[in-house]
Amino acid sequence: MKIVFMGTPAFALPTLAALHESQHEIVAVYTQPPRPAGRGQKDTPSPVHEFSLKYALPVYTPVSLKTPEAQTEFAAHKADIAVVVAYGLLLPKPILEAFPFGCINAHPSLLPRWRGAAPIQRTIMAGDRETGIVIMQMDAGLDTGDMLTVEKYPIAHGTNAGTLHDTLAQKAGPLVLKTLQGLQQKTIAPIKQSDTPVEYAKKITKTEAKLDFSEPAEAIYHKILGLAPHPGAWFEHNGERIKILNASLTAPNDFPISCNPGIIYPTELQREGKRRMGIQEFLTGFKL
């Protein structure tokens, strides 16, 4: 198949690499434009952009796909299908319908649970014991398209969002290749998503990452794991913001925090401007 790949962050890289190494032909890569990053706030290409440059893939960085010019350029690639993984822009109808097989998307949750921007973080924060990857046929809605293939994945106790992110990213590539084969051979029967229960994974805000120890310890524990390693759940002490990057509900240590109900025991923390530390190293330089 001739493919247009659309993605931006590191999560999309394993799928892009799998397509690049396959028998399929990537005729164009679409990614978000370079953004200011780092201490110098220099415009920095996205991970997908950097991969494309490294392997001489034609890359496009439109600010919007809503203009007639952008849509004409997109259709001119004459691809069979677009593969979308965490691209970051909503696709208008002319883009969705530009190619014979339309656009398919790799989404890291078991739809219709956790449609939206932050499915991996919300999965962990909710204490879900199972997640997965869904390859869906994209439509005009927000993650509402028919499901083509589904792979479920159990979430082990103590898994944080960073670990789950990396695991699901690696699983997406082979599942996309399997889906493309099924579409070519007409062996896939699309399945409509159920109407309920629908959960929306809204974007994580900085204020939401603040811990409230009047909440139950178990809810705080899942929040810590769901926000680790980035942006990191935090509390404030003497005007200093301190992140808790890992914790336990069952292994007591010298820093118990009373919740309502329960107790949580931080095991990895990070002070402002410092590296992350284990609990004993942290307490050596920190007095309550």
Over residues 207-244, the pLDDT tens digits come to: 899 999 999 999 999 999 999 999 999 999 999 999 99
Rounded to the nearest integer, the mean pLDDT of the chain is 95
CATH number at residue 278: 3.10.25.10
- Beta-sheet strands, E only, within the chain: 2-7, 25-30, 35-37, 42-44, 59-60, 81-85, 103-107, 115-116, 130-137, 147-154, 200-201, 233-237, 240-248, 257-258, 263-271, 276-278
Tell me which of 151, 185, 219 is where a domain ends: 185
The residue range of the domain holding 107 is 2-185
Q: Are residues 175 and 104 in the same domain?
A: yes
pLDDT in tens, 145-193: 999 999 999 999 999 999 999 999 999 999 999 999 999 999 999 999 9
Total number of residues shown for the chain? 288
In a domain, 196, yes or no: no
pLDDT in tens, 71-111: 999 999 999 999 999 999 889 999 999 999 999 999 999 99
- CB 7, CB 45: distance < 8 Å: no
- What pTM value is reported for the model? 0.94
- Count how many domains the chain has: 2
pLDDT in tens, 122-140: 999 999 999 999 999 999 9
Residue 75 pLDDT: 97
Residue 215 pLDDT: 97
CATH number at residue 166: 3.40.50.170
Q: Are residues 96 and 35 in the same domain?
A: yes
pLDDT in tens, 41-53: 888 999 999 999 9
Q: Are residues 173 and 213 in the same domain?
A: no
In a domain, 11, yes or no: yes
In a domain, 228, yes or no: yes
Q: Are residues 49 and 142 in the same domain?
A: yes
Q: Are residues 62 and 174 in the same domain?
A: yes
Residue 135 pLDDT: 98
In a domain, 22, yes or no: yes
Residue 224 pLDDT: 98
Q: Are residues 80 and 137 in the same domain?
A: yes
Residue 200 binned pLDDT confidence (cut-offs 50, 70, 90): very high
| DSSP letter for each residue of 50-99 | HHHHHTT--EE--S-S-SHHHHHHHHTT--SEEEEES--SPPPHHHHTSS
Flag whether pLDDT at 39 surpasses 90. no
In a domain, 252, yes or no: yes
Cis peptide before 261 (omega within 30 of 0): yes
